[in-house]
Amino acid sequence: NSFDCILFLETIEHVKNPVEFFKEFHRILKPNGVLILSTPNATSLKNMFYALSYRKLEKRKLIINELTKEQKHTGTHLEHIFNWDFPVLVRLLDMCGFETIDHKFTGSGPIVISILGKKIQIIKRDSKILNNFETLKTTHVMKARKKN
């Protein structure tokens, strides 16, 4: 019962046991305290293009090699342990004693794809192109209140 608000930004995708974090946040928040979190959106257009990039076995082998050789604790996207979509985040928050009170999708790019070995930027950073398809944006921003 110490804090009014906790910010947990671009972190949940890196932690091994997010339930432990959320339960601790619940414990230390004051009644009706607020948790604000952000994390990459698993169902973003950017992630869909990324998934298409490893449809071939050779690419998947390259990813395995990159992941095993990467320097640990650098905070890169390769160190993401989890990839979160909206329903799973809401369910996790609810399980840990939080009520989701607001959610926004934000960020559009950049999205760069490789065609015939050439990298092509198809969506620029902060492009407005996904404004009518918010669920395809790159990032979740959520506000949840501690249930009493």
Distance CA 86, CA 103 (A): 9
Task: Say if strands 98-106 and 111-115 run parallel, antiparallel, or are unpaired.
Answer: unpaired
pLDDT under 50: residue ranges of the chain: none
Q: What is the pLDDT of residue 105?
A: 96
Distance CA 6, CA 2 (A): 10
Q: What is the pLDDT of residue 75?
A: 63
Q: What is the pLDDT of residue 34?
A: 98
Q: What is the pLDDT of residue 71?
A: 75
pLDDT tens-digit readout, 97-113: 999 999 999 998 888 88
**Preceding omega of 110 cis (within 30 degrees of 0):** yes
Q: What is the pLDDT of residue 81?
A: 87
45 vs 1, 11, 23, 121, 124, CA distance in Å? Answer: 39, 21, 31, 13, 13
